[in-house]
Structure 1
Amino acid sequence: MEADQSRFLFLLFLFMGQLSPELAAEVQESSDGSRVSRETVRLTDVPATMEFIAAAEVAVIGFFQDLEIPAVSLFHSMVQKFQAVSFGISSDSEVLAHYNITGNTISLFRLVDNEQLDLKSNDIESIDDSKLSRFIEINSLHLVTEYNPATVIGLFNSMIQIHLLLMMNKASPEYEESMHRYQNAAKLFQGKILFILVDSGVRANEKVISYFKLKESELPALAIYRTVDEEWDTLPRAEVSVENVQNFCDGFLEGKPLRENHESEEKTPKVEL
């Protein structure tokens, strides 16, 4: 119980808690990117549904026994709003049974931790654009998830207790190549570590950097954090290569000693901002 409370306070400390409407709009705009015309994929059997889920980092499927309910048209409208998410729909009885669906349900599937998160019948009866958008926003974790006030909630709710943060300015010339390598490293730790990008060019992210006692001159840097006991370690001025990221993560997982610069520091209580 104490670990859960500390974890929650830690997240409040870093992410400033509640998502404001303005920030929600900003998050949505940044996640959409350039819009292209897309459609919901009709899933008519179990193999096709399994293949659809396996091919996407984040897949949202509407399992509807009745395709005439209002939630169906609302579900279709989400396709254009979330360009980085794959949307499918099925009313096939065998598909619903395979995924333990007993009523109209909207499910989100995450490749990063093999989670299936469900919005069930009672919630769907009163669902609206805002509620469904929020459900998708806060739960859309990718192999590398960019840190923002919406995704922190999904990170907090994940069963994966170790988080790796790359703190780097997205405007830097090395960003694209570094991100490519970081994503490749993330595949090696799928289901074990959540990989997160913290854009150091965003002013609101300064508190994350300072929490790990890092300075601007030490970026790009890696920080690894275990939520259950609040242990952490950092790798300043990190070269973002698959080998370096892998060695850093392996060292933490194997319990190698933390860096001396914070090993002997006394832990101070987290303060809610």
Structure 2
Amino acid sequence: MLLFLLFSLVGTAALATDNGLPNLSDITAAEAFINASEVAVIGFFETPLEERFGYKEFVEAVKNVKPIPVALCSDKEAWARFSIVSDTIAIFRKADNHQENLQLSEAKKIEADGLARFITMNEIRYITEYNQVTAVGLFQSEVKTHLLLFINRGSADYESLKDKLAALAQEFVGKFLFVLIHGVKSNEKSLGYFGLTLRDLPRIGIYDSNSDMKWLMPEGEISTERVREFCQSFLEGDLKDVKQAGTLDPKTEL
């Protein structure tokens, strides 16, 4: 069962409900809850909660997703602050400064499984693991350029590289989404698109969906400085004249 994070926000501003979800009683509590995590989910429901369309399904859904901070909010000033006009499930993300809303009044049918998928699909973090579900949210984001870490999960530098890039991603909010692509069979097409095999990992790449172009960072140490320079080279337009990944032998430098 999902262990919900109960935040000590401002005294009694966040009160636990019968289902264990904190109830955010004002704007200050809501903002503190959102700011405390990379991703946060708030169910904006009017009271009494049990009578609201989709409420029971929402409570059931959040039991079946991996740990994400989840809360409820009925305060109308907080609703106005986040442009909520009716019962809504909202996901707040720092990775691309985005608020993703599901307005329940516009849904013909609400099911717990569908709400769980909505939450998981939109759980974009500073570094997001690529899979069939998160791919939807990644490509729906307004940030269309992805910095990719291709890596085998069992490699000795797996955790250190993942943490290093997650920290670097905070410098490029609104410019890149940082994406982790594991070297597994289900991702073979993604690796092949960049001209890579499992033996070539770890590698760093950039994919720009606006132009449908892709590049690999030259082989060598995957340091914070090199990845930062690689990102800057894209932003400054220096990669436009560089051959795309997949058009070269993967061991040939750009």
* C-alpha contact (below 8 Å) 2:126/2:169 kept by paired residues: yes
* C-alpha contact (below 8 Å) 1:218/1:237 kept by paired residues: no
Aligned residues: 231
Counterpart in 2 of 1:119?
102
- Is residue 201 of structure 2 the alignment partner of residue 219 of structure 1? yes
- Is residue 3 of structure 2 the alignment partner of residue 37 of structure 1? yes
4+ residue stretches of structure 1 with deviation over 3 A?
257-266
**Worse-matched range after superposition: 134-143 or 120-129:** 120-129
Taking the TM superposition and a 5 Å limit, the aligned residue runs for 1:49-128 are 49-66=30-47, 67-68=49-50, 69=52, 71-123=54-106, 126-128=109-111
Counterpart in 2 of 1:18?
none
Aligned partner of 1:243 among 210, 213, 225: 225
In 2, the alpha carbon distance for the partners of 1:60 and 1:150 equals 17
Q: Which has the higher contact order (CA 8 A, sep 6+)?
A: 1
Give the aligned CA root-mean-square deviation in angstroms: 2.2
* C-alpha contact (below 8 Å) 2:216/2:244 kept by paired residues: no
Structure 1: tracts of 5 or more residues without a match: 1-34, 267-273
Q: Per-residue CA shift, 1:61-96, capped at 9, x if unaligned?
A: 111113122522322233332233210101111111
* C-alpha contact (below 8 Å) 1:181/1:240 kept by paired residues: no
SS at match of 1:50: helix
Counterpart in 1 of 2:12?
none
Cα distance, 1:247 vs. partner? 1.0
In 1, the alpha carbon distance for the partners of 2:174 and 2:46 equals 32
In 2, the alpha carbon distance for the partners of 1:80 and 1:237 equals 43
C-alpha spacing 1:240/1:174, structure 2 compared with 1 (3 Å): same
Q: How high is the TM-score relative to the length of structure 1? A: 0.78
In 2, the alpha carbon distance for the partners of 1:186 and 1:170 equals 20
In 1, the alpha carbon distance for the partners of 2:43 and 2:2 equals 21
* C-alpha contact (below 8 Å) 1:71/1:125 kept by paired residues: no
* C-alpha contact (below 8 Å) 1:140/1:151 kept by paired residues: yes
Cα distance, 1:231 vs. partner? 2.2
Q: How high is the TM-score relative to the length of structure 2? A: 0.83
Counterpart in 1 of 2:212?
230
C-alpha spacing 1:64/1:125, structure 2 compared with 1 (3 Å): farther
Relative to its length, the structure with more helix (as a share) is 1
In 1, the alpha carbon distance for the partners of 2:66 and 2:187 equals 25
Q: Per-residue CA shift, 1:164-185, capped at 9, x if unaligned?
A: 1100001111111111111111
**Worse-matched range after superposition: 80-89 or 120-129:** 120-129
Q: Per-residue CA shift, 1:187-233, capped at 9, x if unaligned?
A: 11112100000001x10111111101123333211110111112221
Matching residue's letter, 2:194: F
In 1, the alpha carbon distance for the partners of 2:67 and 2:226 equals 28
Cα distance, 1:262 vs. partner? 3.8
Matching residue's letter, 1:42: N
Cα distance, 1:239 vs. partner? 2.5
Same amino acid, percent of matched pairs: 36
Structure 2: tracts of 5 or more residues without a match: 5-19, 249-254
In 2, the alpha carbon distance for the partners of 1:236 and 1:215 equals 15
Matching residue's letter, 2:230: F
Counterpart in 2 of 1:173?
156
SS at match of 2:170: helix
* C-alpha contact (below 8 Å) 1:214/1:236 kept by paired residues: no
- Is residue 179 of structure 2 the alignment partner of residue 191 of structure 1? no
